[in-house]
Chain A
Amino acid sequence: MMRHLETIAIPVGAVAVSLVLFGVFITIAGANPLEVFASIYRGAFGSWFAWQDTLVRAAPLMLTALCTALPARAGLIVIGGEGAVVVGGFCAALVGIVLNGVLPPLLVISSMVLVGALAGGIWVGAAGALRHYRGVNETISSLLLNYIAIALLNFFVVGVLKDPATLNKPSTFPIGDANMIGAIGESSIHWGLGYGIIVCVALWFLMRRTTFGFGVDVVGGNVRAAQLTGLPVGRLIVSACVLGGAAAGIAGMIEVAAVHGRANTSLNAGYGYAGILVAFLARHNPIAIIPVAILLGGIRASSGVLQRAHDLPDATTLVLQGLIFVLILASEALYGRIPWLQPKAPPKEQPVMQAKEQPKEQPA
């Protein structure tokens, strides 16, 4: 119970401090911080219209956050979400283009999800395998894999796969309107949000309720104990990376099939990097990723309002995002060190365990 208090109080405190620092920044930039905060709120959650924008942005964040959160549970710091989004989206687009009109839309979309997940999984799984079998630092390799993914995408969309009709933003041919993921009801929110939530819940279940997740946690907690009990350390590490990469690959697929209709450089819009922040804020818990992604989606959604209402540059919300990230990372050092957040009251349902021969005295 009380450990949960800490895991909530510390991130909330870190976010509060970053808001204060952001206020200072806003003041220096010449705007009134309180008004800016109000605008951020309005732009993020102030109206149904704002909510829709927020949720649309939250969907890919949920999936890319998993790409950092799952490997983190196995003890790896992977920042390869951006690359996985790009290869996932690109490969899904290829499948869509090839199967367009050949198969019914439902099958086309399913194949796109599958191939997007597979591509992202292989991409990030490679970073995990390099780490485990060759000792390559996974943070660096996953970052480099991002650059490789983006370079490959550029190579193909301005080269052999370019649709000549796309002039100012070179893109692949379209996957076809029939194969697009539609909106939820009357809203402008596409079904990608559903994918995000379902994947988060499914992976939460996998990590918290199954032997696989338990094994991954053991490996991430202490490799030597995992080895002592004979766990297949390499397989668990690589699987966690593959699952994380697959989630990010689906995010790429959604960007293609719900937003752009084709693969182009909009795929590397930074969702992969923002996902790292979401994962750390959520302490790598797949369920906590859902609300955190919505929060961050809101901040990103409000950037337009800031530009219009306060004449602040587009990147202002990135400053806030960066501040939150730095403070969250710094606040990791505070766990277990804030006296009044430590457990005090005896949890009622849990008796004190003592050795058999001890008198059964109840501490006051």
Chain B
Amino acid sequence: MTVPSPFALEAVNITKRFGAMIALDSVSLSLRRGTVHALLGENGAGKSTLVKCIMGYYLPDEGQVLFGDREQSISSPHDAHLLGIGMVYQHFTLIPNMTVAENLVLARPRLPAVINWRAELASLEKEMKGMPFQVPLQASVNTLAAGEKQKVEIIKQLLLNPKVLILDEPTSVLTPNEADEVLSRVRAMTQERELSVLIITHKFREVMNYADDVTVLRKGKYIGSTTVAEATPQSLAAMMVGRETIASPLQRAQRQRGNASLDVTDLWVENDNGVDVVCGLNLTVHDGEIVGIAGVSGNGQKQLVEVLAGQREPLRGSVRLHGAAYTATRAQMHEHRFRCLPEEPLRNACVGPMSVADNLALRRYDRPPYSSKSRILHRAIFKRIAREWVESFGIRTPGIEAPIANLSGGNVQRSVLARELSDAPHVLVVANPCFGLDFGAVAEIHNRIMAARNGGAAVLLVSEDLDEIMEMSDRVVVISGGKLVHETTPATADMTRIGQFMAGH
């Protein structure tokens, strides 16, 4: 008998190309049994691609995956499931208009032809007792907040009793508290059961607190692996970007408060289920200031941003830009230079199957130089400007003709940033701009937003990350129950009071 390998899973010299782009260049990774292994790297470093190769979602061009001592050919996620490898993808894969229970049952690889829902529910309820966290089984998925959805995704995998669980940025859409809850439970489970976890994250804090080992990728290359005990956030950051970190501090120019550019008066908005979630909100943002809206998610921030972005009709109330009524038409957006960085950029701000060049042109394609007076498109200009922006914003893409859906999450975000910030916006609405971005990109995006403010833009920043709000804002307001309940400045802010207002007290 040979000694069993100490590794639950090994990827050996994996190479993966997409067209001319080498997404992974001979990358290896070893996941020790019963441990949590973090995979770090900048946006577009190839993290998602590596785990997708392990799952059989992509076929690697070279290299093998060893699972429990043996080389395994995993040619589809279905094979991976049968072997006992489960994965939570970077984007939600739940079916929105089905209940949690239905989603959980449907995820099983072998389903009977006729499903006895009563029995399934009973057994689900029993199994849920052994789960690290609870989810409402009867709720429809589209009524769940992002954090709850993520828990459902994880439970969906745990119910299949995997030996290896891969989590692709499970905490990007979670608040720090939720992230702590989820990760500590997952970590506890690696010890209770025979479970090994491979987790992708951008947050050093999570790596330091919850992982045993860490592997770093940079631009598709394997940089190194180490135990977390021997690592520091600084050393990891240096490995990620290949140099000592450049913490370029935010340059906040001193400015007089300008005119009121964005004015929201007595705004009422309902959500998809017809419940009022913005209830008589009043808000003013002046030129050259960043107003940060802090709040627990689900208090109307999302719907407020949707109204400003033109993606939702308000029930009543008024929105004014520079004093003029604003109804989110293209002409008004152009006249007031209204620009928006919504969350989930691929879903909210891009046309996935269209090329990077076309997506970069969405704001101005109907004006010169993109098109002539007679409305004929000049494709050469699309390409020229796209090349410029790809260069100046450091967008990593196989080419400007590639569908934007093929870009890594962070590069989609950069593309939207390039489009929305390149023509000196006057009013800018930003929602959770740094979800899923690496630390370098976060700093860069903060700098660019700050530069827009310094240039005189009125910026509304909605974020679930209180640190981000405190760092960026000139003024902080707290939203709770669809209304602004508190206003302060970062300098004078009392964090416990803010916390109380956020909690609705």
Q: Which of B332-362 contact A (CB under 8 A)?
A: 332-334, 340, 342, 347-354, 358, 362
Taking CB as reference atom, which chain A residue is nearest B361?
Answer: A214
Q: Which of A194-216 contact B (CB under 8 A)?
A: 209-212, 214-215
Are A353 and B330 in contact (CB-based, < 8 A)? no
15 contacts between A and B (CB under 8 A): A210-B377, A211-B377, A214-B365, A221-B352, A222-B351, A222-B352, A224-B348, A225-B349, A225-B362, A228-B311, A230-B310, A347-B19, A353-B397, A355-B394, A357-B394
Residues of A within 8 A of B (CB): 2, 209-212, 214-215, 217-218, 221-222, 224-225, 227-232, 339, 343-347, 350-358, 363
**B483 CB, nearest partner CB in chain A, Å:** 25
Q: A339-B59, A356-B391 are in contact. Are A224 and B22 (CB under 8 A)?
A: no
**A91 CB, nearest partner CB in chain B, Å:** 30
Q: Report the bound CA distance from A353 to B388 in whole Å.
A: 10
B81-89, B117-125, B398-406: which one contacts chain A?
A: B398-406
Q: Report the bound CA distance from A232 to B329 in whole Å.
A: 7
Taking CB as reference atom, which chain B residue is nearest A214?
Answer: B365
Q: A347-B19, A353-B400 are in contact. Are A225 and B375 (CB under 8 A)?
A: no
Contact partner of A353 (CB less than 8 A), chosen from B22, B332, B350, B387, is: B387
Are A229 and B390 in contact (CB-based, < 8 A)? no
Are B347 and A224 in contact (CB-based, < 8 A)? yes
Are A221 and B19 in contact (CB-based, < 8 A)? no
Are B392 and A356 in contact (CB-based, < 8 A)? yes
With a cutoff of 8 Å between Cβ atoms, the chain B residues found around residue A231 in the complex are 330
Are A214 and B20 in contact (CB-based, < 8 A)? no
With a cutoff of 8 Å between Cβ atoms, the chain A residues found around residue B20 in the complex are 346-347, 350, 352, 363
Are B375 and A211 in contact (CB-based, < 8 A)? yes
Q: How many residues of B contact A (CB 8 A)?
A: 49
Are B391 and A343 in contact (CB-based, < 8 A)? no
Are A344 and B19 in contact (CB-based, < 8 A)? yes
Contact partner of B349 (CB less than 8 A), chosen from A212, A215, A228, is: A228
Contact partner of B330 (CB less than 8 A), chosen from A230, A355, A358, is: A230
**B448 CB, nearest partner CB in chain A, Å:** 15
Q: Report the bound CA distance from A287 to B311 in whole Å.
A: 33
With a cutoff of 8 Å between Cβ atoms, the chain A residues found around residue B365 in the complex are 211, 214
With a cutoff of 8 Å between Cβ atoms, the chain B residues found around residue A221 in the complex are 351-354
With a cutoff of 8 Å between Cβ atoms, the chain B residues found around residue A344 in the complex are 17, 19
Residues of B contacting A: mostly: loop
With a cutoff of 8 Å between Cβ atoms, the chain B residues found around residue A355 in the complex are 394-396
With a cutoff of 8 Å between Cβ atoms, the chain B residues found around residue A212 in the complex are 375
Interchain Cβ contacts within 8 Å, total number: 108
Does B315 touch A at the CB level, under 8 Å? no
Known: A343-B18, A353-B390, A363-B17. 15 other contacts (CB 8 A): A2-B19, A209-B377, A211-B377, A217-B354, A218-B354, A224-B349, A227-B310, A228-B349, A229-B333, A229-B362, A230-B332, A232-B330, A352-B398, A352-B399, A357-B394
**A336 CB, nearest partner CB in chain B, Å:** 10
With a cutoff of 8 Å between Cβ atoms, the chain A residues found around residue B17 in the complex are 344, 363
The 8 nearest A-B residue pairs measured at CB: A346-B20, A230-B330, A221-B351, A355-B394, A211-B366, A230-B333, A211-B375, A350-B399
With a cutoff of 8 Å between Cβ atoms, the chain A residues found around residue B397 in the complex are 353
Taking CB as reference atom, which chain B residue is nearest A222?
Answer: B351
Are B376 and A209 in contact (CB-based, < 8 A)? yes
Q: A211-B366, A230-B310, A353-B399 are in contact. Are A225 and B351 (CB under 8 A)?
A: yes
Are B310 and A222 in contact (CB-based, < 8 A)? no
With a cutoff of 8 Å between Cβ atoms, the chain A residues found around residue B333 in the complex are 229-230
Contact partner of B328 (CB less than 8 A), chosen from A224, A230, A358, is: A230
Are B330 and A229 in contact (CB-based, < 8 A)? yes
**A225 CB, nearest partner CB in chain B, Å:** 5
Q: A355-B394, A363-B20 are in contact. Are A228 and B375 (CB under 8 A)?
A: no
Q: Report the bound CA distance from A363 to B220 in whole Å.
A: 12
Q: Report the bound CA distance from A91 to B391 in whole Å.
A: 56
Taking CB as reference atom, which chain A residue is nearest B379?
Answer: A209
Taking CB as reference atom, which chain B residue is nearest A355?
Answer: B394
With a cutoff of 8 Å between Cβ atoms, the chain B residues found around residue A358 in the complex are 219
**A136 CB, nearest partner CB in chain B, Å:** 18
With a cutoff of 8 Å between Cβ atoms, the chain B residues found around residue A345 in the complex are 19
**A43 CB, nearest partner CB in chain B, Å:** 39
**A87 CB, nearest partner CB in chain B, Å:** 30
Q: Report the bound CA distance from A221 to B350 in whole Å.
A: 9
With a cutoff of 8 Å between Cβ atoms, the chain A residues found around residue B351 in the complex are 217-218, 221-222, 225
With a cutoff of 8 Å between Cβ atoms, the chain A residues found around residue B362 in the complex are 218, 225, 229
- Among B331, B348, B362, B394, residue most surrounded by chain A Cβ atoms (within 10 Å): B362
Q: Report the bound CA distance from A225 to B345 in whole Å.
A: 9
Does B363 touch A at the CB level, under 8 Å? yes
Taking CB as reference atom, which chain A residue is nearest B20?
Answer: A346
**B418 CB, nearest partner CB in chain A, Å:** 12
Q: Report the bound CA distance from A209 to B398 in whole Å.
A: 25
Q: Report the bound CA distance from A355 to B59 in whole Å.
A: 26
Q: Report the bound CA distance from A232 to B397 in whole Å.
A: 30
Q: A211-B371, A221-B354, A354-B396 are in contact. Are A228 and B377 (CB under 8 A)?
A: no
Taking CB as reference atom, which chain B residue is nearest A221?
Answer: B351
Q: Report the bound CA distance from A228 to B311 in whole Å.
A: 6
Does B21 touch A at the CB level, under 8 Å? yes
Does B309 touch A at the CB level, under 8 Å? yes
Q: A353-B387, A356-B392 are in contact. Are A214 and B358 (CB under 8 A)?
A: yes
With a cutoff of 8 Å between Cβ atoms, the chain B residues found around residue A217 in the complex are 351, 354
Are B311 and A227 in contact (CB-based, < 8 A)? yes
Taking CB as reference atom, which chain A residue is nearest B61?
Answer: A344
Indicate with 1 or 0, residue by residue over B119-143, a CB within 8 angstroms of chain A CB atoms. Answer: 0000000000000000000000000
Are B396 and A228 in contact (CB-based, < 8 A)? no
**A327 CB, nearest partner CB in chain B, Å:** 22
- Among A221, A343, A345, A353, residue most surrounded by chain B Cβ atoms (within 10 Å): A353
With a cutoff of 8 Å between Cβ atoms, the chain A residues found around residue B399 in the complex are 347, 350-353
Q: Report the bound CA distance from A237 to B12 in whole Å.
A: 51
**B123 CB, nearest partner CB in chain A, Å:** 32
Q: Report the bound CA distance from A363 to B20 in whole Å.
A: 7
With a cutoff of 8 Å between Cβ atoms, the chain A residues found around residue B348 in the complex are 224-225, 228
Are A230 and B329 in contact (CB-based, < 8 A)? yes
Q: Report the bound CA distance from A227 to B306 in whole Å.
A: 10
Q: Report the bound CA distance from A354 to B414 in whole Å.
A: 13
**A203 CB, nearest partner CB in chain B, Å:** 15
Taking CB as reference atom, which chain A residue is nearest B362?
Answer: A229
With a cutoff of 8 Å between Cβ atoms, the chain A residues found around residue B22 in the complex are 363
Are B309 and A353 in contact (CB-based, < 8 A)? no
Q: Report the bound CA distance from A351 to B383 in whole Å.
A: 13
Q: A346-B20, A355-B394, A358-B219 are in contact. Are A228 and B352 (CB under 8 A)?
A: no
Contact partner of A228 (CB less than 8 A), chosen from B309, B371, B391, is: B309
**A199 CB, nearest partner CB in chain B, Å:** 19
Are B311 and A224 in contact (CB-based, < 8 A)? yes
With a cutoff of 8 Å between Cβ atoms, the chain B residues found around residue A2 in the complex are 19
Q: Report the bound CA distance from A346 to B329 in whole Å.
A: 41
- Among A214, A225, A229, A358, residue most surrounded by chain B Cβ atoms (within 10 Å): A229
Q: Report the bound CA distance from A345 to B350 in whole Å.
A: 27
**B409 CB, nearest partner CB in chain A, Å:** 16
Are B376 and A353 in contact (CB-based, < 8 A)? no
Contact partner of B21 (CB less than 8 A), chosen from A209, A211, A352, is: A352
Taking CB as reference atom, which chain B residue is nearest A205?
Answer: B376
With a cutoff of 8 Å between Cβ atoms, the chain A residues found around residue B395 in the complex are 353, 355
With a cutoff of 8 Å between Cβ atoms, the chain A residues found around residue B59 in the complex are 339
Are B377 and A225 in contact (CB-based, < 8 A)? no
Q: Report the bound CA distance from A354 to B348 in whole Å.
A: 25
Are B375 and A346 in contact (CB-based, < 8 A)? no
Q: Report the bound CA distance from A345 to B330 in whole Å.
A: 40
Indicate with 1 or 0, residue by residue over B9-40, a CB within 8 angstroms of chain A CB atoms. Answer: 00000000111111000000000000000000
